[in-house]
Amino acid sequence: MSDDIQQTNWLVPIFIAIVLAAPGWYLYYDTSTKTELKAKRDLFKIQRLEKKLGIVRENAASDYSNWRRRFQDANQALITANAKLRSVKSELEKMSSEPIATKDIASDFKTAQADLEEQLESSNRSNAELMVKLKEQNSRVSALTNELAQAKSEYIKAQEKLVAIQKANQKAQSQITQDSEKLDGAVSQADVYKKQNLQRQAINRQLSEEHAQLKLEFEQLKQVLSQEVKKKEVEILTLADNSTVIRLQSNILFDSASALLKDEAKPALDQIAMALQGLSYQKVSIEGHTDALQIVGQEEWHFISNWELSAARAAAAVRYLLYSNKQLDATKMQIVGHGAYSPVADNATLEGRQLNRRIEIRIISKEQREEAQ
C-alpha cells in the first residue's frame, strides 16, 4: 500500500505540471496568432493606401502638367495681347501727334483694347481655377500622406507588439520545454523507482525464501547431529551474519600440538559430511583456532607457530570430510588458519584456553557471499 501511495505522490505533480502548462501555451499561441493576423491586415491596408496614393499622385501630376501648360498658354496670350496693346498705344500716340485723327482709328483701338482686356480677364479666371484645383489636389495628397503615415505607424506598433509576443512565446516555449523535460525526468525517475521497488520486492522474496531454506536446513543439521550435540562433541551456532557454524573442540579431534585426527573424532566428522551433503551452500570454510600458549615439541611436529598449527588442523579436517563423502564439492571448500587471534574465551584460564582450541565449519550461503562482496 505504501508503495502505491509513493507512486501516486510522484504522479500528482506530473499531472499538475501538464494542467498548468497547457493553458499558458494556448494563451501565448492564440495571442501570437491574433497579432500576426492584425499585422497582416495593417500591411495590406498600407499597400492599398500606397497604391491609391500613387494613382492620385499620377493623376495630380498629369492634371498639374495640363493646367501648367494652359496657364503658360494663357500667360503667353496675355503677353502677346499686352505687346499688341503697347503697339496700338504707340500707334495711337504717333497718330495723335499728327494733325489728323479719325474716328475709325479710335474705334479700332477701343475694340482691340476691349478684346485684350477680355482675354486678360479670361486668363485670370483660368489661373484662379487652376490654383483652386491645385490646392484641392495638394489637400487630397496631404490627407492621403497623413493617412499613409498613420497606417505605417500602426503597422510599426503592430510589428513591435508581434516581436514582443514572439519573444514571450519563445520564452513560454522554452518554459514548456523545460517543464516537459522535468516531466520526462519525473516520469523516468518514477519508472526507475518503480523498477527499483520491483527489484527490492523480488530480492525480499528471494531473501525470505533463502531465510526459510536456511532455517529448514539448520533444523535438519541439528537433527542429523543431535547425538553429537548431546555428547557435547559438536556445537551448532547461528552467528550475527546468519551464517551457520559447526564448532568442534580440538581435544576430541587432535592431541596437543598435533594435526593428526584422532579415531574417536571420525564418527562426528562422518555425520557432518553427511549433513553437508544435504545442504545448499555457496562455500564451506573450515577454520582452525588455537590458544595463545607457545607450542611445545615443535621440533617433532615442525610447527613453529600457532598459525601453522591452526591451518594444518583445518586442512586435516577438510581432507577427512572429502574422503568421508565423495559427493562433497572440493571447489566449495576453503581452509583458514586463525591461530590464537580469534578467541572466544580468556586465554588466561585453563577453561578459556580449552574453548579457544577448536575447529569451526562455517557454512556460507549465496546470500551471505553476495553481501560480503
The whole-angstrom separation of Cα 42 and Cα 5 is 57
- CA distances 40 to 36, 155, 164, 192, Å, are 6, 9, 16, 50
Predicted TM-score of the model (pTM): 0.44
| Domain 2-196 grouped into CATH 1.10.287.1700 | yes
- Give the cell for residue 112: 482691340
Residues of the chain with CATH 1.10.287.1700: 2-196
Q: Which residues of the chain have pLDDT under 70?
A: 1-30, 92, 95-106, 108-109, 112, 183-184, 186-187, 203-226, 228-229, 240, 296-302, 366-373
Residues of the chain with CATH 3.30.1330.60: 225-372
Q: Would you state the pLDDT for residue 100?
A: 47
Do the beta carbons of residue 239 and residue 199 sit within 8 Å?
Answer: no
For 292-345, how does the pLDDT look when each residue is reduced to its tens digit (9 = 90+)? 998 765 455 568 889 999 999 999 999 999 998 899 999 999 999 999 999 999
Query: Which CATH number does the domain 225-372 belong to among 3.65.10.10, 3.30.1330.60, 1.10.3720.10, 3.20.20.210?
Result: 3.30.1330.60
What is the Cα 136 distance to its own chain's centre? 68
For 243-284, how does the pLDDT look when each residue is reduced to its tens digit (9 = 90+)? 789 999 888 899 888 899 999 888 889 988 988 887 877 899
The whole-angstrom separation of Cα 362 and Cα 217 is 14
The SS3 call for residue 197 is helix
- CA distances 74 to 114, 130, 190, Å, are 17, 11, 96
